[in-house]
Structure 1
Amino acid sequence: MTTDYALCRDGVALFDLSTESRFSVSGPAAETALNALTTIDVSSLRPWRGKMALFLAPDASIIALATIFRADACFYIFAEATVADRLRAYLGEEIAARGATLTDLSLTHCLYSVVGPSAQEVMIAAAGDDVVGLPFLSGEYNAELGATVFRMGNTGEFEYRMMADLAQASGLAARLCEHGASFGIAPVAAEVMKTLLLEMRALSHNDIPVDTSPLEAGVHWMVNFRKEQPVAAAALHQSKAAPRTRCVAVTIEGVDAALPGNSRLLIEDQDVGVLASSEYSQALGKYVGVAYVAPEFGWVGVSFVAHTPTGGHVVVRAVSAPMLVTKTAKRA
Structure 2
Amino acid sequence: MPMQANLQAADTIDHVHEGVIYSPFHRRTSAKNINQQWSVWNGYASTKYYADAHLEYFSTRNTCGVFDVSPMRKYRIKGPDAEAMLNRMVTRDVTSQAVDTVAYNIWCTDAGKLIDDGTLFRVSEDDFWLCAADPNFDWLQLSAVGFPNLEITDISEDLASLALQGPTSCALLKAMGFSGIENATPFSIMRFPFGAGEITISRTGYTGDLGYELWVDPADAELLWDQLFSVGQVYGIQPLGEDSLEMARIEAGFLAPDVDFHGSLHTVDRGHDHSPLELALGWIINFKKGHFSGRAALAKEKAAGKHRRLIKLDIEGNKPAENSILYCDKGCKKTIGYVTSAMWSPVVKANIAYGLVEGQYADGPIWAEIYHQKELRWVRKLAQCTRVTKPFWAPERARQTPPPDC
Tell me the number of residue pairs that the alignment of Structure 1 and Structure 2 aligns.
325
The SS at the match of 1:272 is strand
Correspondence for 1:42: 94
Query: TM-score scaled by structure 2?
Result: 0.74
Residue number among 87, 110, 113 corresponding to 2:163 in the alignment: 113
- Structure 2 residue 275 is the aligned partner of structure 1 residue 275: no
Residue number among 73, 76, 79 corresponding to 2:129 in the alignment: 76
Correspondence for 1:288: 352
Correspondence for 2:361: 297
Higher helix proportion (structure 1 or 2): 1
After superposition, the C-alpha distances for 1:130-184 in whole angstroms (9 at most, x for unaligned) are: 1111111111221146311111135331111111111111111111112211101
Residue number among 166, 179, 184 corresponding to 1:134 in the alignment: 184
- Relative to structure 1, is the Cα distance of residues 266 and 293 closer, same or farther in structure 2, using a 3 angstrom cutoff? same
Asked if 2 retains the 8 angstrom alpha-carbon contact of 1:110 and 1:169, the reply is yes
Q: Which runs of 5+ in 2 are unaligned?
A: 1-52, 263-271, 373-377
Residue number among 229, 236, 242 corresponding to 2:298 in the alignment: 236
Asked if 2 retains the 8 angstrom alpha-carbon contact of 1:302 and 1:318, the reply is no
Asked if 2 retains the 8 angstrom alpha-carbon contact of 1:273 and 1:294, the reply is yes
Query: Following TM superposition, where does structure 1 have runs of at least 4 consecutive aligned residues deviating by more than 6 angstroms?
Result: none
After superposition, the C-alpha distances for 1:50-74 in whole angstroms (9 at most, x for unaligned) are: 2211111122111111111211251
Give, in angstroms, the shift of residue 273 of structure 1.
1.3
Alignment of 1:142-181 (within 5 A): 142-144=192-194, 146-181=198-233
CA distance in 2, matches of 1:283, 1:192: 13
Correspondence for 1:189: 241
Moved more, 105-114 or 322-331: 322-331
Give, in angstroms, the shift of residue 190 of structure 1.
2.5
Correspondence for 1:266: 327
Give, in angstroms, the shift of residue 37 of structure 1.
0.6
CA distance in 1, matches of 2:205, 2:233: 22
Moved more, 286-295 or 11-20: 286-295
Which protein shows a greater Rg? 2
- Structure 2 residue 188 is the aligned partner of structure 1 residue 124: no
- Structure 2 residue 342 is the aligned partner of structure 1 residue 253: no
- Relative to structure 1, is the Cα distance of residues 92 and 168 closer, same or farther in structure 2, using a 3 angstrom cutoff? farther
The SS at the match of 1:13 is strand
Asked if 1 retains the 8 angstrom alpha-carbon contact of 2:337 and 2:356, the reply is yes
AA aligned to 1:266 is Y
- Structure 2 residue 382 is the aligned partner of structure 1 residue 314: yes
The SS at the match of 2:278 is helix
State the percentage of identical aligned residues: 24
The SS at the match of 1:129 is coil
AA aligned to 2:132 is A
Correspondence for 2:266: none
Residue number among 50, 53, 61 corresponding to 2:113 in the alignment: 61
Give, in angstroms, the shift of residue 41 of structure 1.
1.4
RMSD over aligned Cα, in angstroms?
2.2
Give, in angstroms, the shift of residue 259 of structure 1.
2.4
Correspondence for 1:90: 139
CA distance in 1, matches of 2:58, 2:352: 17
CA distance in 1, matches of 2:80, 2:388: 46
Q: Which runs of 5+ in 1 are unaligned?
A: none
- Structure 2 residue 395 is the aligned partner of structure 1 residue 326: yes
Give, in angstroms, the shift of residue 17 of structure 1.
0.6
Give, in angstroms, the shift of residue 129 of structure 1.
2.4
CA distance in 1, matches of 2:201, 2:368: 45
